[in-house]
Amino acid sequence: MEQRQLGHSGLIVSPLGLGCMGMSFAYGPPKDRQEMIQLLRTAVARGISFFDTAEVYGPYTNEALVGEALAPLRNQVVLATKFGFDLKPDSAFNVAEKMPGLNSRPEQIRAVAEASLQRLKTDVIDLFYQHRVDPSVPIEDVAGTVKDLIQAGKVRFFGLSEASPDIIRRAHAVQPVAALQSEYSLWWREPEAEIIPTLSELGIGFVPYSPLGRGFLTGAILNHNQLEKNDFRANLPRFQPEALAANQALVQLIQLLAVEKQATAAQIALAWLLAKQPWIVPIPGTTQLTRLEENLGALNVSLSAQEVQNLENAAAAIPIQGARYPERLAQMVRK
């Protein structure tokens, strides 16, 4: 499998990563632990080397799962985790109803790093992201704290998530940012306006989360009733019945190209991202081996520049209904 470098950082990873959140968090009840351990190890066997988790997923349980699964394979994988939420040891919350507040104070970052190292069963975090920008802490202080952790050998690379161009520039001036993780897919193309040009200029890699539109672009979600009550998608504006029905037009467009290319809709959505830039590494999540293998099949789908342009032009003509987050969570992401 050909590898990709995240910007100019020197961080080399597989062209597709694996988002691990849904194994423990957000998309209904946690999945069977042993099955997820086997899936994670199978992903490594299939060539995936880039795994994404966070302390808030669970909270804490997803990092522990990833750590247990990948400790025997540690020299074959790149582990990415995140700090930035105000979690306590006994934190418990329902992501469908409420998220914890933000906390990127230096002492909190250092404490999170130590705890994540323990849960991940490793002596170094390969990529340490600020999960969400904390407006109460200057980004220079955040970057400086991670720089100290890098110098101490506890972290290898610094990342940001859902950060604006100004925040990215200010952080990068203190400690080079290896990667930005933000939502990006055929139904959320906002990063194309300012984010991607900024990353290109600064030599920063891009790690799109929800590259399959939280599963929507696979064509598998046709009805709001398919979502379990504790699946946080059930509360997202884009997944409400009226919006969900209107947004099917985008899936149908992708499916047309999929038929032509003898691929699936998911593979077309991922192939489109992979064709955009050589420093873009999507991290689709899954809890099923069949979906993992389907996603990897995107690496065999080649889209020409003209096919990419045609797909984008057609997609741009389809008005997407619904915001990506409800208002109570929107303050934690760039609009």
How far is 301 from 160, CA to CA, in rounded Å? 29
Nearest of 183, 211, 190, 208 to residue 267 by alpha carbon:
211
Instruction: Please tell me which residue in 27, 57, 129, 184 is annotated as part of the active site.
Output: 57
How far is 84 from 265, CA to CA, in rounded Å? 34
CB 61 within 8 A of CB 33: no
Residue 81 CB neighbours (<10 A): 31
DSSP assignment, residue 231? B
How far is 81 from 155, CA to CA, in rounded Å? 10
Element (H, E) at 86: none
CB 198 within 8 A of CB 169: yes
**Token pair for 319:** 């008005």
Could you write out the DSSP letters of every residue in 28-82?
SSPPPHHHHHHHHHHHHHTT--EEE--TTTTTTHHHHHHHHHHGGGGGG-EEEEE
Q: What percent helix, strand, coil does the chain show, rounded to 5?
A: 45, 15, 40
Give the CA-trace dihedral at 42, 48, 49, 51, to 10 degrees: -80
- Is 209 designated active site? no
Nearest of 187, 264, 185 to residue 220 by alpha carbon:
264
CB 15 within 8 A of CB 297: no
CB 20 within 8 A of CB 51: yes
Q: Which residues are catalytic?
A: 57
